[in-house]
Each structure stands twice: as C-alpha cells, then as structure tokens.
Structure 1
Amino acid sequence: MNLQNTPDYKRIYSDMITIKYPEKREICDQLLSKANLSTLDVIEISQILFNKSSKENSEFNQKHRSYSKSTIVKILEYQKKNKLNNSQLAKHFKLSRNTVTKWKNKFLL
C-alpha cells in the first residue's frame, strides 16, 4: 500500500494507454518501465498521449502544475547542458520566463 500523497502515475498512464491509446504503448514503454516516474517523465508521457490538446486545456493544465525541488534542479541542469537561454527553456517546458528567473535566483544563487 502506497501511503504517499502522490498519485500512482505509472498505473494511471498504463491503464490509460491500454484502454484508450494502445498504439502509443511502444513509445511510452521506456518511460513506464522505470521504477519511479519523475515529474518530467509524467510531463513527457502527457505530451505523447495528449499531443493535440486545445489551447484552453493546455492553459488550464499549465496553471495547475507544480514542480518539486529536484525537478526544478533537473530543468535548470537541462538548460545548462543544452546551453539554452531562459526564453528557450521556458518555451521548451511551457513555462513563463519569470518562473525560470525565479527558480534560478532561488536554486542557483
């Protein structure tokens, strides 16, 4: 029994793929085979499954995202590794530039 307050994304997405998106199983298997899914993994699977979401849905979902400290650090490491500026990173992860700046000030200084 999982006593954490986090949803079992692995089970949720596995069931969803089996029922609604069996054609996307092969693409998602690598991510779903991990012992634990990170926030970035969940975002990636969501993008694979719901690639054609409306602008309104995307905006709503973006407003309700939250990131753990470890995920924020991974995102900032991704920026450094790929030599992206704040605008490029924000566009890649669908964040605001202000959010990226706040994260950099809080976690890198």
Structure 2
Amino acid sequence: MATPNYKKIYTDLLNSRHPDKKYKCESILSKKELNFIDVIQLNEIIFEKKSKEVLEMNQKYRSYDKNTIVEILKYQQNNELNNKEVANHFKMSRTTLLNWKKSGLFE
C-alpha cells in the first residue's frame, strides 16, 4: 500500500489556503521525506485551534508505522519522559505506549 505524498499535500494546502503560514513550515517541508511526526507538527502549525471533537476524531483514526513507533519511543528515552508525558505530547493513549513496550519489538 502506497503512502500519501504528504509533502505535496501540505505544500498545496499552504499555497492555496494558508500562504501566511508557509514560512513556519519551510524547515519541515524542506526534508526529503516526511514522517508521521512531521505531519503532526505541520497540522499543529496550520490548524492552530481545534475543537475537542475534532481532536478526538483525529486521534480515533490515527495509525502508526514501525518507524514512527520507534521514533516516539526514542523521543521518550532521549528526553527521559514517562508514559503520561509522552502520551500528552503526542496526543495519544498511555495504554498504546505500554502495549508497544510490552511487545518487545522496538527495543
């Protein structure tokens, strides 16, 4: 299954609807390939305020690939954060983090 071309999607979105925010996103969009964390950062920059319902809906349909999971767990380790702090930062469930760690696949 092919992944969406997030770089093109966000570049087009910035050009057509949010040209004033383009300069804030340049450093992320200059990367050769965007990962899941980059996509989250772009969403936060472009769509600053979200209602609680929109946030819940976005979280409900999120999925994480192996590289993203490893990156999130490395972020936790490098910043010496507990599960609650990481979950709040990435707007995800503490249970999800715990399950990833228990699986032992990402050590």
Aligned residues: 106
Query: For structure 1, which runs of at least 5 residues remain unmatched after alignment?
Result: none
Q: CA deviation at 1:59?
A: 0.4
Amino acid at match of 1:78: Y
Runs of 4+ aligned structure 1 residues displaced above 6 Å come to none
TM-score, scaled to structure 2 = 0.94
Q: Distance in 2 between matches of 1:66 and 1:105?
A: 18
Q: Distance in 2 between matches of 1:65 and 1:49?
A: 18
TM-score, scaled to structure 1 = 0.92
Q: CA deviation at 1:108?
A: 4.2
Q: RMSD of the alignment, in Å? A: 1.1
Find 1:101's aligned residue among 83, 98, 101.
98
Q: CA deviation at 1:5?
A: 1.8
Query: For structure 2, which runs of at least 5 residues remain unmatched after alignment?
Result: none
Q: Does 1:80 align with 2:77?
A: yes
Task: Give secondary structure in 2 for the equivalent of 1:58.
Answer: helix
Identity of aligned residues (%): 48
Aligned to 2:56: 59
Aligned to 2:32: 35
Question: Cα deviations across residues 17-56 of structure 1 (Å, max 9, x unaligned)?
Answer: 0111111111100110111101111111011111211110
